[in-house]
A and B are shown apart, each in its own frame.
Chain A
């Protein structure tokens, strides 16, 4: 991490300062002016309910699309386009840190099982050189998979390169550069290569590359777009504890919702894009943790705002992160969400990109910066306001407040408003059940019931990881305590494997 300019620091401080400012202001209001605080909470609660209902409707719409396109024969659709789809090559990069063979083999097997021609597929398994198991694992994987694809590379990213931090983006960039050499050697035009950067535990569906190719061929300016599949956490979801399962299901749903809000849609986790564009924007960031979203903003700035994310209504399946026991699971989930919340670093990155002079229209700059800023601030304060601050006016207001109309009406109104959230929860519970893969034979039947009933623990989850990871991340950024990459364990049918945490 190099030294930040004053303006960069200002925009790093701004989100955390705003979130803390809102929280502290509301607490002070609760103490010194409970009526004003109660009004703020009613306004926020009302806003939150309308927002929840709106987003839940979007979720239903997105889910409907996903269901519609679930069993589509995408390769056949490509053939129907009367264009040469066979000229497109797929480069798949798996950045690996400590994941073992138990995680990597199924991911590569899923690639091998896709129906896209393997002679048009190039795979790079990108190991970290500092992982002592890397060489041995690469040897075993090569034995199994090397012959299946047009190209299969194992790369070993050296530690401590100048300007780099220990991030997934640095490893992926190293791998992409090696892939470029291979592609040029094979005399494949860069513009015919579509790159996908997958988390090591990502298992794609059979039709994934057909779907991706179809969208690439039918999208206007396909090089000025990223392609985002819908992440689900089905690899081990039947075996994960309720807490972790619900959190990951919620994450999938949030991604489905985002896919409906195209003007805000940003790449997340496993995603695809034109390899030429990737080369043009100088690959992923090598010193930022949230490389998956920053790469989108890099392209957005590079193309002067004329860059977007196309949702692919096809799923890629990953692992639910959970530990051996409840506390460890909470801890892992907390750290994972904090890392996602670290995406707040995109805000200073974007605003500074705007300030460096670009031809992006001012209104677009304001909108995109606001969306990013508002999203992170809301994330950091919503659970705090609804759960912790909402009771304070009654607590600090005492009898005088309770004898006022607003003091009397306040608990009734907030209670009534929040009852609407039950409607949203019921819909989420129903969808969660339908999005699941088939129950494995060794899982008892009553787990079906648990999977729906467990949604009653959502308030408990909200208390633990509703807002706190976002506050934590924003505070770290505010105080220049920059986060680095760290691994989290992932379990798959009793196998524990170190994994990058997203």
Chain B
């Protein structure tokens, strides 16, 4: 028992000593303090935390190679500016400066080391005319130069299949837009709107049509969520028409601005656009509007001014 108690006493004093010696070391480290052996004073230091993508880059601090590789935290740095150089084989070198403040951490967490030889893979095998991505369905749509067929493939360009035939318009379309159900695509230039139905089994120009738009110069076109109506924003008006060859064009809003910006929110079937109006005081004011196109609304179209200036209505 005596021996056991002696060993225990020894362990006890060892534990107490470890605590007494270890605690100041841990606390000074935690607080970012460094003991200066010359002055016998504690000097405030800072630290740099480096994260890179990919990891494993060599770190040069003021030209000196450190043992650490990224991700790394450089401790006990005297406050000041440091030159950093990060090197990883096959990647562009990252050069930068980091300002270190006392008892603070400088975070360098968004460093990407780009590859010297970017990884490029040719996906299409023929002469490409245009392409569109559908990220949700991980699909690429493309047309080949000089052809009036639309093809569909996966993101690797594999298994391409012809899904539609469209009627070309001139000049070339400004934009191509999928319907929300991904069953149709429309395309337009400033005077014409074309649309075609996807039919992978039997792609045919019979599923396509082109409408000439006479009410203005087309700025943008949107699909309604019913995938049947098309909303047209031109330099003179906002109109709606059906996606059919003999569609009637209905002018919903007359615009003063020839270059109205427009954004369509398909979830709510709401069109946001800006336009100017002249107020009673003779001044013109540019406002943001919201046009409700949800068929469930009591009135199909409801125009609301979003940014009031008190002068116009």
A residues apposed to B, CB below 8 Å: 38-39, 42-43, 46-47, 50-51, 53-54, 57-58, 61, 65, 260-262, 402-410, 413
Residues of B within 8 A of A53 (CB): 15
B169 vs chain A, min Cβ distance (A): 54
Q: How large is the interface on B (under 10, 10 to 19, 20 to 34, 35 or more residues)?
A: 20 to 34
B residues apposed to A, CB below 8 Å: 4-5, 7-8, 11-12, 15, 18-19, 22-23, 26-27, 29-32, 45-47, 49, 73, 103-105, 107
Known: A50-B18, A408-B73. A403 touches B27 (CB 8 A): no
> What 10 A-B pairs come out closest when comparing CB atoms?
A405-B32, A408-B105, A54-B15, A409-B30, A405-B103, A50-B15, A406-B30, A50-B19, A406-B31, A413-B30
A-B contact count (CB 8 A): 68
Residues of B within 8 A of A409 (CB): 29-30, 32, 47
A174 vs chain B, min Cβ distance (A): 36
In the assembled complex, the Cα of A58 lies from the Cα of B18 at a distance in Å of: 17
- Which of B45, B73, B103, B107: most chain A Cβ within 10 A? B103
Residues of B within 8 A of A413 (CB): 26, 29-30
User: Can you name the residue of chain A whose Cβ is closest to the Cβ of B25?
Assistant: A46
CB pair B23–A43 under 8 Å, yes or no, is: yes
User: Can you name the residue of chain A whose Cβ is closest to the Cβ of B102?
Assistant: A405
In the assembled complex, the Cα of A112 lies from the Cα of B160 at a distance in Å of: 89
User: Can you name the residue of chain B whose Cβ is closest to the Cβ of A416?
Assistant: B26
CB pair A406–B4 under 8 Å, yes or no, is: no
A450 vs chain B, min Cβ distance (A): 33
CB pair B4–A65 under 8 Å, yes or no, is: yes
CB pair B105–A403 under 8 Å, yes or no, is: yes
The one of A39, A51, A262, A407 that contacts B15, using a Cβ cutoff of 8 Å: A51
- Name 13 extra pairs, CB < 8 A, besides A39-B27, A408-B49: A38-B30, A42-B30, A43-B27, A50-B18, A54-B11, A57-B11, A61-B8, A262-B5, A404-B32, A405-B32, A405-B45, A405-B104, A406-B30
B109 vs chain A, min Cβ distance (A): 12
CB pair B4–A260 under 8 Å, yes or no, is: yes
User: Can you name the residue of chain B whose Cβ is closest to the Cβ of A61?
Assistant: B4
B103 vs chain A, min Cβ distance (A): 5
Residues of A within 8 A of B73 (CB): 408
- Which of B7, B8, B46, B47: most chain A Cβ within 10 A? B8
In the assembled complex, the Cα of A25 lies from the Cα of B8 at a distance in Å of: 34
B290 vs chain A, min Cβ distance (A): 36
In the assembled complex, the Cα of A409 lies from the Cα of B25 at a distance in Å of: 13
User: Can you name the residue of chain A whose Cβ is closest to the Cβ of B19?
Assistant: A50
CB pair B8–A404 under 8 Å, yes or no, is: no
In the assembled complex, the Cα of A410 lies from the Cα of B29 at a distance in Å of: 10
The one of B8, B45, B49, B103 that contacts A406, using a Cβ cutoff of 8 Å: B103
User: Can you name the residue of chain A whose Cβ is closest to the Cβ of B12?
Assistant: A54
Known: A409-B30, A413-B26. A404 touches B105 (CB 8 A): yes
B264 vs chain A, min Cβ distance (A): 38
A33 vs chain B, min Cβ distance (A): 14
B246 vs chain A, min Cβ distance (A): 61
